[in-house]
């Protein structure tokens, strides 16, 4: 198995509200495994609060409101057809930099309550959702693309032990 590097950290979140980093890392690993990503990748995950994710959302997307998760892909990939070109690998690390995920711990808790499931399940779902964005999936365009992404989310959630609610 590839030696992926997953850098995950909290910023602006009270320790009592931290998300479970080993779960986040496991979700990243399983997503990469299910998507048959067989070269070492680098992924960064920031867990923050609503105020910080709002600032990031406004700065990078021009949307001045908080959100649950943001994805910043560093590669242009075709969903479900993982392929790289030589220039994509960072020569200094030997890793493929996939991008960054930003999660709002406050939104994880709020949405877990709203959808009546655990914060662990919501953390897993949002991490998988964001990872799929890093791997080229999208849900803003055609209905077929949205369906494909939702199917992958369900499969990966099932692999992690979170069957459909």
Question: Of 102-111, 131-140, 150-159, which range is least confident?
Answer: 131-140
| Per-residue pLDDT, 86 | 80
Does 164 map to a domain?
A: no
pLDDT per position as a tens digit, 2-25: 599 999 999 999 999 999 999 999
Provide the number of structural domains found in the chain.
Answer: 1
| Per-residue pLDDT, 1 | 45
Average pLDDT, the chain: 94
Per-residue tokens: 48: 């923050």
Q: Which single residue is written with the structure tokens 């590097």?
A: 5
Range of the domain at 95: 5-159
Does 67 map to a domain?
A: yes
Q: What is the DSSP string of 40-107?
A: -EEEEEEEE-HHHHHHHHHHHHS--S--SEEEEESS---TT-----GGGSBTTTTBEEEEEEEEEHHH
Does 116 map to a domain?
A: yes
Residue 62's contacts (CB-CB under 8 Å, 6 or more residues apart) are: none
Does 24 map to a domain?
A: yes
Shortest CA distance to 75 belongs to which of 30, 39, 110? 39
CATH number of the domain that 47 lies in? 3.40.390.30
Q: Is the pLDDT of residue 47 over 60?
A: yes
Does 56 map to a domain?
A: yes
Does 165 map to a domain?
A: no
Under the banding of pLDDT at 50, 70 and 90, the label for residue 140 is confident
Q: Is the pLDDT of residue 164 over 80?
A: no
Does 106 map to a domain?
A: yes
How far, in Å, CA of 54 to CA of 104, rounded? 9
């Amino acid at each position: 198995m590839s030696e992926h590097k997953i850098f995950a950290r909290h910023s602006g979140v009270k320790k009592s509200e931290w998300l479970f980093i080993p779960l986040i890392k496991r979700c990243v690993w399983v997503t990469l495994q299910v998507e048959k990503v067989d070269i070492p990748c680098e992924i960064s995950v920031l867990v923050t609060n609503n105020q910080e994710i709002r600032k990031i959302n406004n700065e990078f997307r021009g949307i001045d409101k908080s959100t649950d998760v943001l994805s910043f892909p560093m590669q242009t990939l075709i969903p479900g057809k993982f392929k790289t070109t030589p220039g994509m690998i960072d020569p200094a690390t030997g890793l493929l930099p996939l991008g960054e995920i930003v999660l709002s711990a406050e939104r994880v808790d709020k949405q877990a309550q709203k959808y009546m499931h655990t914060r662990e399940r919501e953390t897993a779902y949002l991490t998988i959702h964001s990872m799929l964005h890093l791997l080229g999936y999208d849900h803003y365009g055609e209905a077929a693309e949205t369906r494909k992404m939702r199917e992958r989310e369900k499969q990966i959630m099932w692999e992690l032990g979170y069957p459909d609610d």
